[in-house]
């Protein structure tokens, strides 16, 4: 299952502090926790199975303990303590090893007394996890890392995270909605489009080493940019660098001083539920962070009822037989996205 070998966002970095956090990823229950930082730098993050190896209690109901010799996660049931990196380093044991059993303090737990540990890292304001190490000879190289999102590493751009949005549909349905220009005039009438200007240009779609790319996509917008006095055609570029991520870029144009890059990053909780964030990078936009977030929240609130109404919730890509949905020439990008998922062998949230 390729999805288990990919990096997925699980929580916004700013929402993982002193307390453990429980999340679902690909149907697995995980506990996320963070060690204390040093000199103002945030501490390292951990992602473990949310199940104590002693009697199966949820570790996310426990506490993070800060010791002189490194941090530990304490199980809520019998108080067993499992070590983070520094807590186990002096013994040479691996992260996740039980280091203390309060009811039997002289007992030295063997390696079998360990939490299940997954790889975790931080990128683009989010914590990312993968459940299995991939066979690198099989996986496209670009997918062995979290998706690239250049404006996020460039300090010239203003960066912020919107979300999380918990959505009752599959991650592929949500990606396809993000790539779809032709709903603007209906779902976002007066905001991102107008019924009277519903025609779109889908541009060229190409697949390369870094996923899908579409340039020169155009839609008519009633207010083409903040401060615009009227409507106009707006050009977008899209990339799909990962089965459950998509990036939209709008560059500043004549008379339009604003450049925007918005990355949709999605945690596939299970086949029919997902959690999404927007990583936004802007240049030249005078709105403050709260206004930008409020705009995304409002736009997403318009998408949600329609996207959650789509049946089946799995995206029909023709994996289980003939595809049951039909296309028009305006759907070039979503048709390419469906072929991309089929070619990669994605199984979650598709049919």
Assess 75 for contact with ligand FES (CB under 6 A): yes
Residue span binding ligand FES (CB under 6 A) among the ranges 71-79, 221-229, 249-257, 266-274: 71-79
Assess 128 for contact with ligand FES (CB under 6 A): no
Report the residue from 15, 55, 69, 327 that binds ligand FES according to the rule CB under 6 A. 55
CA 152 to chain centre: 14
Is there a contact between 33 and 63 (Cβ–Cβ < 8 Å)? no
Nearest to ligand FES of 26, 75 (CB atom): 75
Residue span binding Fe ion (CB under 5 A) among the ranges 40-48, 114-122, 303-311, 341-349: 303-311
* Bridge partners, residue 265, by sequence: 245, 277
For the chain, what's the residue count? 351
Of Fe ion, ligand FES, none, which one sits near residue 303, judging by CB under 5 to 8 A according to partner kind?
Answer: Fe ion
Nearest C-alpha neighbor of 161 from the set 2, 276, 53, 326: 276
Residue span binding ligand FES (CB under 6 A) among the ranges 7-15, 47-55, 134-142, 156-164: 47-55
Assess 336 for contact with ligand FES (CB under 6 A): no
Show the 3-state SS of 282-338.
Answer: EECCCCCHHHHHHHHHHHHHHHHHHHHHCCCCCECCCCCCCCCCCCCHHHHHHHHHH
Is there a contact between 280 and 161 (Cβ–Cβ < 8 Å)? yes
Assess 63 for contact with ligand FES (CB under 6 A): no
Assess 80 for contact with ligand FES (CB under 6 A): yes
Assess 78 for contact with ligand FES (CB under 6 A): yes
Question: C-alpha distances in angstroms, 23 versus 50, 156, 240?
Answer: 9, 33, 24
Interface with Fe ion (CB under 5 A) = 303
Interface with ligand FES (CB under 6 A) = 52, 54-55, 57, 75, 77-78, 80
């Amino acid at each position: 299952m390729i999805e288990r070998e990919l990096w997925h966002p699980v929580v916004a970095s700013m929402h993982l502090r002193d307390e453990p956090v429980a999340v679902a990823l690909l149907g697995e229950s995980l506990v996320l926790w963070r060690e204390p930082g040093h000199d103002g730098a945030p501490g390292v993050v951990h992602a473990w199975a949310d199940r104590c190896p002693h009697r199966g209690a949820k570790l996310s109901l426990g506490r993070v303990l800060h010791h002189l010799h490194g941090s530990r996660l304490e199980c809520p049931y019998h108080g067993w303590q499992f070590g983070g990196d520094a807590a186990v380093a002096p013994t040479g044991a691996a992260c996740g090893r039980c280091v203390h059993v309060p009811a039997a303090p002289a007992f030295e737990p063997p390696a079998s007394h360990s939490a299940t540990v997954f790889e975790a890292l931080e990128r683009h304001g989010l914590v990312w996890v993968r459940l299995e190490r991939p066979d690198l000879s099989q996986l496209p190289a670009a997918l062995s890392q979290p998706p690239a999102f250049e404006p996020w590493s460039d300090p010239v751009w203003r960066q912020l995270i919107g979300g999380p949005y918990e959505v009752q549909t599959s991650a592929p349905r949500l990606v396809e909605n993000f790539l779809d220009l032709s709903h603007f005039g209906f779902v976002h009438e007066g905001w991102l489009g107008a019924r009277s200007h519903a025609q779109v240009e889908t541009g060229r779609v190409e697949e390369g080493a870094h996923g899908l790319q579409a340039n020169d996509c155009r839609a008519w917008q009633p207010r083409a940019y903040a401060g615009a006095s009227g409507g106009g055609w707006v050009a977008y570029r899209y990339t799909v660098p990962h089965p459950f991520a998509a990036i939209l870029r709008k560059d500043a144009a004549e008379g339009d001083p604003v450049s925007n890059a918005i990355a949709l990053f999605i945690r596939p909780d299970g086949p029919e539920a997902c959690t999404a964030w927007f990583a936004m990078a802007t240049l030249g936009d005078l709105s403050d962070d709260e206004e930008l977030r409020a705009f995304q929240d409002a736009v997403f609130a318009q998408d949600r009822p329609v996207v959650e109404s789509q049946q089946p919730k799995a995206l029909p890509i023709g994996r289980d037989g003939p595809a049951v949905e039909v296309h028009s020439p305006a759907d070039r990008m979503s048709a390419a996205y469906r072929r991309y998922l089929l070619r990669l062998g994605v199984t979650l949230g598709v049919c």
